[in-house]
Every structure is written in structure tokens, then in C-alpha cells.
Amino acid sequence: MFGGFYTVRFQLDEAVGRSVMYANAGRMLGGNSAFAHIGTYQEIGDEIAIEIRTVRHNPDPNYRAMAGTDDATLLARGRSDGRLYRFEGRLKELPGALFRSVMTPVEEQAMPIAGAVGEGGISNGLYAINLRMLDGVEGGLTGVMLLNDGRILGGDAFFYYVGTYTSENGRWKGQILNQEHTPARGANPVFGGHEVGIGFSGTYDEKGAHLDATALAGKRSLRLTAALQLMRGL
């Protein structure tokens, strides 16, 4: 049955992109370094019909929209190929271009046990995250993070991450494991080539959250901060 957490390689004619995606109970939520991907799926026999809308969360113009517009809607159908899922379809805004994608599941053993969420806990949903390094270290990440009852799933064009959190009355804390799904050493020399463990704490409200963290990347211990903006609630 279709569902779970996936890394995604997609192609629009000759242009190639990558992202992460969570699918469950007919909903699809994911994205990458510049765009959130928000949609639905329906299982029809042995096929899966999907409709996904892209929404820009990173204003950096160096991240260009493959369709030529920030807001695009994908209509596609696919089916399983062993452990993988393969899709083909079209964008409403660019019907002459062929879209293809391959979704690869993240191994179940990588999934963390959810943390405790108390009274007034942080809202479940898909967040855009903007992370920057501190102490004069150049670098950072932008991507998406799904928070769901104490569990973290997220990523971008190069990394996926899984983790847990606890939250109550405006405060939250947790742990994240950041791993590559596509080699990133050239694009992100700080985290590229490493499995990075991150511990964090911070605050939140109805619109988003803030966190301060320490990351262990190889032999380097790095301080960082991040802002989260709620894109779509669950």
C-alpha cells in the first residue's frame, strides 16, 4: 500500500530536481530547498493518481522554478516497481512538458519513536525551515519539515532528516539525524558527506517556531539557529 516517507527524484523534460515527500491517508506533503509540495493521492486499482501544488518558501532567485512559475499544479499517475514508485504526468501550466518521478522509501528502521506532546503543543503540519550557522561559519540549509505528534520528517534537494521532539506550552526540544540522499559535498561543504546529529530547543506559536541547536558533523561541533514557518497544517 502506498504511503510513508520517501526521497524523490523528478524530471521535467531534461531538467532534474530532488525532494522529499510524506504520503499518508490520501495526503502528500513534502518539498525541497525552495518549494513546498502539497497535494493529495488516490489509489485506483493498482494505480495511484496524484495532484500536487508547488508553493515557493525560499525567495532566493537562484532557485528557479522548473515550470517557469512558482505556483504550478502536477497531475500524474504511477504504480509500484518493487520498493519504488514511478510516476508520469503533466503540469497544468506547462502541458507540453513530460513529468517523470521516482519515489524511494526511507528505510523503516530510520524512523524514530515519537516524543511526547503536552498541553498546547506545537501544531502538526508542514513547515518551511531556514537554518543558518553561527560563530562565523558560512553556510546553512533551507527545506521543509513535517511535525506530526512528536515525530520529525523532512529534507531538501540533498538531505533527508528524521527525528523526535517534545513540546508543551510554547517550548519544544528534540533531536534530528540529517543524512544525504544525494551527494552534497560540493553544494554544502558543512554537512555534505556526513551523517549529522542535531540537538535543539526553542519556542513556537501558531505561525511557526524558532530553535537553537548544536550539530555534530564529522569531528566538528557547530552551533546553528533556525526559523520555521507553518505552510500547511495537518
What pLDDT shows up at residue 192?
A: 74
- pLDDT tens across 198-209, in order? 999 999 999 999
- Every domain of the chain and the residues it spans: 4-105, 108-233
* Intervals of the chain under pLDDT 70: 108-113, 184-189
Report the topology of domain 108-233: Lipocalin (2.40.128)
**Is there a shared CATH topology between the 4-105 domain and the 108-233 domain?**
yes
Beta bridge partners of 133: 224
- pLDDT tens across 104-141, in order? 999 765 566 677 788 889 999 999 999 999 998 887 88
Q: According to the CATH classification, is domain 4-105 in 3.90.850.10?
A: no
Cβ(223)–Cβ(135) under 8 Å? yes
What pLDDT shows up at residue 111?
A: 65
DSSP assignments along 76-129, one per residue: EEEEEETTEEEEEEEETTEEEEEEEEEEEEPPGGGPPPP--B-TTPPPPEEEEE
pTM of structure: 0.92
What pLDDT shows up at residue 187?
A: 62
